[in-house]
């Protein structure tokens, strides 16, 4: 349903739209998200350029756990507690938040959102790669040191994969009983381990 640019100030009248997949309410005067409970199949909710300001104005999102694409960009959202709300949306995959003051208030904005909202595959203008997710989760768990360790591990994994591919062999991975070094370490040793 396309209701963008209509000077709408309230979200009402969705009771008979249980099968609705997309609701575009971009560029209206919405101050509070509400009335979504009847929209059991809503996949995409677009609320760009409205008058949303804080988490209290967004709690209505919890009424619609089916949302997988959410555009809240270019509102006036300032509240960092927004992340706690987004975590409660179990199907959220695509999120647009750029243009809100909250983006500058959440420490390490992109890392924080990727690490906390585990279902995200796309944030603002970029996809979320598996590598970026692992780095963000390491950062959230152990700070910059843990992130660096994960980055180094990813780099070593890429080297090992390249060597495996080039040499046509499969590396033995560490087992719980003994540790085996990387292929690059193994190849650096002489025939007698020298």
In 3D space, the residue among 59, 66, 54, 9 whose CA is nearest the CA of residue 34 turns out to be 59
Q: At what angle do helices 130-167 and 109-116 cross, to 10 degrees?
A: 80
| Neighbour tally for 189: CB within 10 Å | 10
Q: How confident is the model at residue 128 (pLDDT cuts 50, 70, 90)?
A: very high
pLDDT tens readout for residues 21-63: 999 999 999 999 999 999 999 999 999 999 999 999 999 999 9
Q: Is the model's pLDDT at 98 over the cut of 60? A: yes
Given a contact cutoff of 8 angstroms between Cβ atoms, the answer to whether 59 and 33 are in contact is yes
| Neighbour tally for 122: CB within 10 Å | 13
In this structure, CATH architecture of domain 22-128:
Alpha-Beta Horseshoe (3.80)
- Specify the DSSP element, H or E, that contains 191: none
Q: Mean pLDDT, to the nearest integer, of 154-177?
A: 72
Q: Determine the pLDDT at residue 172.
A: 62
pTM: 0.78
Q: Determine the pLDDT at residue 178.
A: 42
Enumerate the domain spans of the chain: 22-128, 141-187
């Amino acid at each position: 349903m396309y209701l963008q640019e209509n000077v709408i100030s309230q979200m009402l009248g969705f009771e008979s739209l249980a099968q609705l997949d997309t609701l575009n309410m971009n560029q209206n005067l919405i101050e509070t998200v509400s009335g979504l409970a009847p929209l059991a199949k809503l996949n995409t909710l677009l609320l760009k350029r409205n008058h949303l300001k804080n988490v209290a104005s967004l709690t209505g999102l919890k009424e619609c756990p089916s949302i997988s694409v959410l555009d809240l960009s270019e509102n006036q959202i300032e509240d960092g507690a927004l992340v706690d709300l987004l975590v409660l949306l179990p199907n959220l995959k695509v999120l647009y938040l750029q243009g809100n003051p909250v983006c500058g208030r959440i420490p390490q904005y992109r890392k924080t959102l990727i690490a906390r909202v585990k279902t995200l595959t796309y944030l603002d203008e970029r996809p979320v790669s598996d590598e970026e997710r692992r780095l963000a989760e390491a950062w959230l768990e152990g700070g910059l040191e843990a992130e660096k360790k994960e980055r180094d591990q990813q780099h070593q994994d890429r080297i090992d994969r390249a060597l495996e591919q080039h040499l046509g062999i499969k590396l033995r991975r560490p087992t719980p009983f003994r540790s085996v070094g990387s292929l690059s370490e193994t190849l650096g040793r002489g025939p007698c381990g020298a």
